[in-house]
Amino acid sequence: MAGFVNDLTAKERARFLESARLGALWFRHNQNTHERTWGGVDESADTGRFLYEYFPTTGYCRGTGVWSQGLAVCGLLAVADAIGDRSFREAAVLGGGYLKSLQWLDARQPACVGGFREHNPQDLWSFPRDGATGCFALAVLARETDDADALDRANLFCRWYSTSGSDDTTWPYDYYDFAKREGTCEVPGDWQAGGALCYYYTAKAAGNDTWINDGFRPVAERLVTLADPTDVDGTEHGWHGQSRITVGNDDFATVALMAAFLCFENERYLDVVRKRIDWLMSLQDDDGSFPNSGGTFVTALTLLEFVDLIEAKGLPDATAPLIDSLLAAARFGLSLQETESRDRRAYGGFYGQSNYGVSRDRIHNRSTNYSIHLNLRLAGHDAPCLRALGW
């Protein structure tokens, strides 16, 4: 835990913890279960699935895909540990069951085994980076619940991700077609490398460094060559896959670089981390927000991880500017949470998917998920996913 957290007032830590609890409550309230089925449809194949987004004005909503399902599982486990409420743990384990149903285990197509279908068990395609976040959850389930099946599945995914899900250099594809058994990548970008944390987490959960050397290292080496943001002009918020550098939400590529520094103790990784941190901070608005969908929370988590890294390794970098920036982002983030509506599909969730958080048209899992991890840590509790330390 970063030392400055102890300097926050008791009320502010309580506010962050309550925000995390309410965010987790949004997931739990909107999980499809046998006792409370979506739309009253019994025997649904969506058992354990959470909501991806909800539009209060129209009532439109849809279920999670692999990345959002996996991240919710991680957040609910962390909230359960923080407040001692088993109902969140039970929801996480049930959610893990739906996540597992997305994994391809049909041995008749060996090139597909281990990969994740994108949204539902009938899909024949995948965004491999999304599948990597699903693997994060498998590693966390293995670590937090002693789920041996989850660890086996995490290893299967890492095997698929490093072969079928990536090119010959182990750089992950943007898209994978299970029917054709083909992957594509049009614009290699920094955001893809955040998925390499699946190798890191799986290796740590297993107590075996094989995936760190065989999967994580080659992606980290490639990331160093393309992650320097000093030639990026402006704050256009192109999304993942549209440019080499994603402005405002790097999908935890900078955290992956910090993990590489921890693994290999090579200053090259740290040098790029510092450049990216300086650049990210330059994008912050006066109200604390950052650009792009979820950018406020992703950047705050990245800055928080760097503060922890500085303290853990005794680095000479100044932490005060980082702390000021991330706290401003976290405090702005609280303003995006819906706490007044009594609509079950809105209450506790965060409005998301707008640049600098300027719109409140939809409750979205992205901001809700990331906020849970950020706010738990600011309240002084552990949230092992989306970070390099603590594994």
Residues in the chain: 391
| Token code pair at residue 38 | 């979506």
Residue 276's beta-bridge partner residues?
Answer: none
Reported as a pLDDT band with limits 50, 70 and 90, residue 237 is confident
pLDDT tens readout for residues 48-89:
999 999 999 999 999 999 999 999 999 999 999 999 999 999
Closest C-alpha to 169, from 222, 131, 124: 222
Residue 103's beta-bridge partner residues?
Answer: 116
Spell 60-89 as b/e; 16+ CB within 10 A means b.
ebebbbbbbbbbbbbbbbbbbbbbebeebb
What 8-state DSSP symbol labels residue 213?
Answer: I
pLDDT at residue 238 above 90?
Answer: no
For position 40, what pLDDT does the model report? 84
What 8-state DSSP symbol labels residue 327?
Answer: H
In whole angstroms, give the CA distance from residue 173 to residue 115.
12
In whole angstroms, give the CA distance from residue 38 to residue 63.
10
In whole angstroms, give the CA distance from residue 298 to residue 293.
9
| Arithmetic mean of pLDDT, 336-349 | 97
Cα→Cα distances 299→63, 98, 214, 255, Å: 26, 29, 28, 10
Q: Which H or E element spans position 125?
A: strand 125-126
pLDDT tens readout for residues 347-389:
999 999 999 999 999 999 999 999 999 999 999 999 999 999 9
Three-state DSSP class for residue 52? strand
CB atoms within 10 A of CB 209: 15
For position 87, what pLDDT does the model report? 97
Whole-number mean pLDDT of the chain?
Answer: 96
pLDDT at residue 233 above 90?
Answer: no
Give residues with Cβ within 8 angstroms of 88, minimum separation 6: 24, 28, 76, 77, 79, 80
Residue 337's beta-bridge partner residues?
Answer: 350
In whole angstroms, give the CA distance from residue 370 to residue 385.
10
In whole angstroms, give the CA distance from residue 210 to residue 148.
18
What 8-state DSSP symbol labels residue 39?
Answer: G
Give residues with Cβ within 8 angstroms of 359, minimum separation 6: 351, 353
CATH for 3-378 is: 1.50.10.10
Going from N- to C-terminal start, the domains of the chain cover 3-378
